[in-house]
Amino acid sequence: MTDMYTQLVSRGPGRDIARKLGLPQPVVLRRYLPDQPLITGPVLVQGAGSGADELAATLLSWNLDVRRHAVPKEKLGAIILVLDELGRPEDLARPVLTAATSLRDLAPNSRVITVSRTAADTADPAVAAARQGVDGLLRSLAKELRAGATGNGILLAGGVRTTSPSTLGALRFFLSGRSAFVDGQFLTVSSAEGQLPAHAGKPLAGKVAVVTGAARGIGAAIARTLYRDGATLVVVDIPAAGDHLAAVANEVRGTALQLDISRTDAGQRIIDHAVERHGRLDIVIHNAGITRDKLLANMDEGRWNSVIAVNIAAQLRINEALLASGHFRSSPRIVSVASTSGIAGNRGQTNYAASKGGVMGMVRATAPLIGTHGGSINAVAPGFIETEMTAKIPFAVREVARRLNSLQQGGQPGDVAEAIAFLASDAAGGISGEVLRVCGQNLVGA
């Protein structure tokens, strides 16, 4: 699905005309390509404590061009603002205002990333105020950045350090083109679990992954991305989508399983297929989903029940089978596709939003259960993504919807897939029970 306007105004005369008329000026985002550098240009690490020093030393060991002090007028690839030792709100001023002097030097598609501690972890009101302040600060700053630059934050819980594996995993994700459409978001690292991959280009090598709803759209993009990252794929979809499913399975050299995920035996069928055909099961991506939109006043039982059955009840039942299975015990990872509708609400989507809100509640409550097997579960909540579904929205409504975010464009299915691939990797092993929005920082709603 193309967005002609972004192509037109991102360079040459089109860009000048859009600027003069005060029209939105989306740029073509830097998206991940294998062998692409993590980030282009120097990385400025700001913050005074030992956490900042240790992080800067780690980035140096990755061969990044690291600065601890800004060089005037030098174009920056990223600013990392380490705020892990805040004691009261006044402590924000110095590091934040120092970083502010470098914001004009950020290159297009650059990154600002905060590393701070979770406010919920402290009973001290001043510490909590300072930590929670980072939330409002970062989300506002992300709205001020331009030219494809994004702002995201990493929250450290408990004893997690600035150099714990999943802190570094999240940092690599946010720095890279994998997070192109993630903006104004936080990821909490809740434990020191996880490990960075031995081979950065194939982080899922040796893993067997199942993707539901993979015959088309976002699910097919997830299958392609997991395959690129080294996983062996089982792609699942309803029998009616069998031809498309077979084509995707061929493309990713995986196997196809024709299955309606709302069947009561779906979990066992998935486990049996993965184990019989590939010898193991490591990753399950719950992507299959449907919409049956109607205003609640006009809602019928059929529409309500089918959306709940496919979008959440099926996931709960499959997870029960997975958690009970002896074949899903080796750092198992589950990632579910939610939606920003489940957070901010959407007119005509009470059933869909209830199901997607349900996905987020399920993920939070399942995290401790899968944690007992050394595993993790997370959700990704896409905003406006350029798919067959959104291409059907009438032009004017679609144009407004896709521009109403900080990056002034819709996301690509691959953007959702990149976030999922990261959360399915061992680099994210210390992140569980989280919801990551891939929405370009939607300006409307929560």
Binding site for ligand NAI (CB under 6 A): 212-213, 215-219, 236-238, 241, 260-262, 287-290, 310, 337, 339, 382, 384-385, 387-390
Nearer to ligand NAI, 216 or 228 (CB): 216
Nearer to ligand NAI, 46 or 262 (CB): 262
| Dihedral class, residue 208 (left if φ above 0, else alpha if ψ from -120 to 50, else beta) | beta
283-286 vs 333-337, strand pairing mode: parallel
Question: Both tokens of residue 345?
Answer: 């609400």
Q: What secondary structure does DSSP assign to 54-120, as a single string?
A: HHHHHHHHTT--EESSPPTT--EEEEEEEETT--SGGGGHHHHHHHHTTGGGEEEEEEEEEEEE-GG
Nearer to ligand NAI, 103 or 290 (CB): 290
Catalytic, 352? Answer yes
Q: Which amino acid is at 230?
A: G
| Dihedral class, residue 245 (left if φ above 0, else alpha if ψ from -120 to 50, else beta) | alpha
Residue of 5, 32, 227, 352 with catalytic role: 352
Q: Is-contact 379 436, C-beta < 8 A?
A: yes
Nearer to ligand NAI, 116 or 349 (CB): 349
Which H or E run includes 7? helix 4-9
The torsion angles phi and psi of 308, rounded to 5 degrees, stand at -65, -40
Q: How far is the CB of 136 from ligand NAI (least distance, A)?
A: 26
Nearer to ligand NAI, 45 or 436 (CB): 436
Nearer to ligand NAI, 195 or 390 (CB): 390
Q: What secondary structure does DSSP assign to 352-408, as a single string?
A: HHHHHHHHHHHHHHHHHHHHTTT-EEEEEEE-SB-SHHHHTS-HHHHHHHHHSBTTS
Q: How far is the CB of 190 from ligand NAI (least distance, A)?
A: 25
Q: How far is the CB of 389 from ligand NAI (least distance, A)?
A: 4
Which H or E run includes 43? strand 43-46
Q: Three-state DSSP class for 313? A: helix
Q: How far is the CB of 262 from ligand NAI (least distance, A)?
A: 5
Nearer to ligand NAI, 174 or 384 (CB): 384
Q: How far is the CB of 79 from ligand NAI (least distance, A)?
A: 30
Instruction: Name the burial class of residue 65, with classes exposed (0-12), middle (13-18) and buried (19+) by CB atoms within 10 angstroms of its CB.
Output: middle
Q: How far is the CB of 392 from ligand NAI (least distance, A)?
A: 10
Q: How far is the CB of 400 from ligand NAI (least distance, A)?
A: 15
Torsion of CA 79, 84, 86, 87, to 10 degrees: -170
Question: Both tokens of residue 134?
Answer: 């980072």
Q: Is-contact 419 182, C-beta < 8 A?
A: yes
| Active site residues per annotation | 352
